[in-house]
Chain A
Amino acid sequence: MVEWTDTLIQGILLGGFFALSGLGLSLSFGIMRIVNIAHGDFLVVAAYLGVVIVGLVGINPIIAIAIIAPVMYAAGYGLQRSLLNKAVGGSELTPLLITFGISIILHNVLQEVFSADFKSLDAGSIEIASIAIGNIHIGLFPLSILVVAFVVYSALYRIMHNTRFGRIVRATVDDPEVSSLMGVDTKKIYSLGMALSMAIIGIAGALYGIKSSFSPMTGGDQLLFAFETVIIGGMGSIWGTMLGGMALGISQIIGFKIHAGWGAFAGHLIFFAFLFVKPSGLLAKGDQHA
C-alpha cells in the first residue's frame, strides 16, 4: 500500500514537470498552429544555457533561470519574427518541417560545441532534501517543480483571460483576418506568443537540467513526452494538459518500477492506448480531437 502511494506521488511529481514542458508545446500550437518539433531541443538548449551561465558567473542554476527565461523569450520572439512568421497561415505542415529542420540542426550544433557527453546542473542541497510524511518521502525539488508548474499555469490563465494582451491573443486565435482588420498586428502577436512559449521552455529546460542528466541527443525524448502530455490531456484544454502530465508521469514511474528500461516505454504504450480507446484525451475542448 505504502509502495503504491509512493509510486502515485512520484508519478504526480514527475507529471508536474511534463505538465510544465507540455504547456510550452501546446501554447505555440494553440496560438500560431505551430507544432514545434524542436521543443525538446530548445529544452536542452535552455539546460546548456544554464551550464554556460553557471560556468561564467558561478551562480546556482535555480537563480540562473532569471537569465535563461528572458534569453529564451527573446530567442522565441526573434525566431518567430525572422523565420516562422513566413510560414504561418499556410499549410500546418510547413512550420512543422521548418521546426524539424531546426531540431536536427540544434542537436548537431550542440554536439559540435558541447560534445555528446552527458551533463547535469548542480543546484546544491535542495536536490536531495525531502519531506517525510509517515513512511513516504517527498523530494523537495520535484515538489518545487510541481509548484512552479501550478504558478506558471495560473499566471498564463490570468494573462489569457484578464489582460488586454490575452484578449487580443484569443481574438487572433479565433479569427486572424478580422482581428487584423480591427488593427491587430497578428504577426507581432504570433511573435509574442512564441516568445512566451519559449520562456516557459526556458524555465522547464533549466529545471530539467537540474532534475536529470542531459546530452545534445536527449531533446527528442523530451519532445515526445511533452507531446504525449498534450494528447493524453486533450487538445485545447490547459488544465487537461496538467492532468495529461500526471497520467504520463504515473505511467512512466510504474513502467520504471517493473524494469528500469521500461519507463518511457510504458508512457508510449499508454499514449497509444489513449489513441485507440479515447483519442480525444482526458479533457477535450468540444468534440474536435487532435
Chain B
Amino acid sequence: MREGETLSNSGWKIETPLIGPALLALLVIALAAVPFFGGTGTMRLMVEIFAMIAMAQAWNLLAGYTGFVSVGQQAFIGIGAYGLFMVTLKGGIDPFSSVLLGGVCAGLIGAIAAPALFHLRGPYFAIGTWVLAELFRIFITNNDYFGGASGLTLARVLREIPRDFRNDATYWIALTLAASTLVLVYVLLRSRFGLAIRTVRDNESSAESVGVNVRGVKFMVFVIASFITGCAGAVAYLNTMFVTTSAAFSIEWSAFIIFVVIIGGIGTIEGPVIGALVYFFLREWLADFGTWYIITLGSVAIAVIVWAPDGIWGLIAKRYPIRLFPAGAVMRKKSV
C-alpha cells in the first residue's frame, strides 16, 4: 500500500466468501431441528461435539492465532462446570442461564491469573496453565462446600424440570455456543483487533513498534478464550448432570482439545470443527477397545505435527481453492 491509501482504495480487498456463512446458517437451522426427531443418546453425543468445537475454537484462538499454547484448559472447563453447579445448587439460579455465569467465573479467574502466567514465555506458559488447573482441582477436592472428592450432582434441581425440555434446552444451548463461538472468532479475527492478534503472534517486538498494545491484546484473547472454555465446560457437565474434580480438571481435556485442533488444522476456523468430528468418530468407532482411541489420536496428532503441520483442512485447502472462513485476511487484487 502506498502512503495515504486505505485498504478500501488500495486496489486490494479482503476476501469475503459468502459460501461459508451461508453453509453455517443452513447447517445451524438443520441441526436446530434435531431435537424434534433425534433420540436422547444422539443428542447427548451432539452436545459433547458442540462443547468440544467451542473448546477447540477457543484453544485455536490462543495457540493458532495469538501464538500461546495452553495445556491447562481443564482449569477453565472445571471452573465453568463448578461455577454452573454452584450457582444452580447454592444460588438457586436455573441451570441453563448458569452456563453463562460459569463462563464468567472462568473469564474472571483467567483475568486474575493472566498477569502471573504472562511472566512465563512460550512452552513454560503452557505448563503454568496446568499448574493453575491443579491449584483449583486440589482446592475443590479438599473442600466439602464444593462437594469435595465425591463431586456434585444436579439431580435434585433437574428433577423438577421435565426431561424432554431439559434435554432440548441443553442441546440448543450447546448448538448456540458452538455456532456463536465460531462466528465470534471469525468476526474477531477479521477486525482491526484480529490484525493486532496475528501481529503479536508473528513478532511481539515489531507488533509493539507499530503501536500494538501487546500485553493488552494477549490479556483480552486469554480472557475471551477462558470465558468460552468456561461456558463449554459448563455445557459439557450440564449434559452429564454430575461433576467431579478428577473428571472436570483432568489433563485429558487439554489432550483432546489439542489433538482435535492439530489434526483438523491449527490456525484455521474450519480445522477445529473437522478435528472434533474426527475425534468423536474415532471414539465411537473404537469404543470397545478401552483407551486405544486416545493412543491412536495422539499418534495421529504427532504425525500431523511433524509431517503435515497444517492438518486436514490445510491439506484440503492446498489442493482445492475452497475458503469457507478465511480469517487469515486473504487479500486479493481487485479485478479492474
Of residues 60 to 96 in A, which have CB atoms within 8 Å of B's CB atoms? 83, 86-87, 92-96
* Closest B residue by C-beta to A278: B119
Q: How large is the interface on A (under 10, 10 to 19, 20 to 34, 35 or more residues)?
A: 35 or more
Contact with A along B128-142 (1 / 0, CB 8 A): 101110110011011
Closest chain B CB from A29 CB (angstroms): 8
Count A-B pairs with CB separation below 8 Å: 124
B299 neighbours in A (Cβ, 8 Å): 101, 105
Q: Which residues on the B side are within 8 Å of A108 (C-beta)?
A: 291-292, 294-295, 298
Whether A289 pairs with B119 at a CB distance below 8 angstroms is yes
In the complex, which range does the number of interface residues on chain B fall in? 35 or more
Produce 1/0 per residue, B166-195, CB < 8 A to A: 000000000000000000000000000000
Binds B, one of A10-18, A120-128, A139-147, A222-230: A222-230
Q: Which secondary structure dominates chain A's binding surface?
A: helix
Are B291 and A111 touching (Cβ within 8 A)? yes
Whether A4 is near chain B, meaning CB under 8 Å from some CB there, is no
Interface centre among B258, B294, B305, B306 (most CB of A within 10 A): B305
Q: Which residues of A contact B306 (CB under 8 A)?
A: 83, 86-87, 98
Residue numbers of B with Cβ under 8 A of A are 63, 67, 69, 71, 115-117, 119-124, 126-128, 130-132, 134-135, 138-139, 141-142, 251-252, 255, 258-259, 262, 290-292, 294-295, 298-299, 301-302, 305-306, 309
Chain A residues engaging chain B, CB cutoff 8 angstroms: 29, 35, 37, 83, 86-87, 92-98, 100-102, 104-105, 108-109, 111-112, 220-221, 223-224, 227-228, 231, 259, 261-262, 264-265, 268-269, 271-272, 275-276, 279, 289-290
**A-B pairs with beta carbons under 8 Å apart, 23 shown:** A29-B123, A83-B302, A93-B69, A93-B122, A93-B126, A94-B309, A96-B122, A97-B69, A97-B258, A98-B305, A100-B258, A101-B298, A104-B255, A105-B294, A112-B295, A223-B130, A227-B131, A268-B131, A268-B134, A268-B135, A269-B135, A276-B115, A290-B120
User: Other CB < 8 Å A-B pairs besides A224-B127, A261-B138, 4 of them?
Assistant: A37-B126, A94-B305, A227-B127, A279-B119
Q: What 4 A-B pairs have minimum CB-CB distances, sorted nearest first?
A: A35-B123, A279-B119, A275-B116, A105-B298
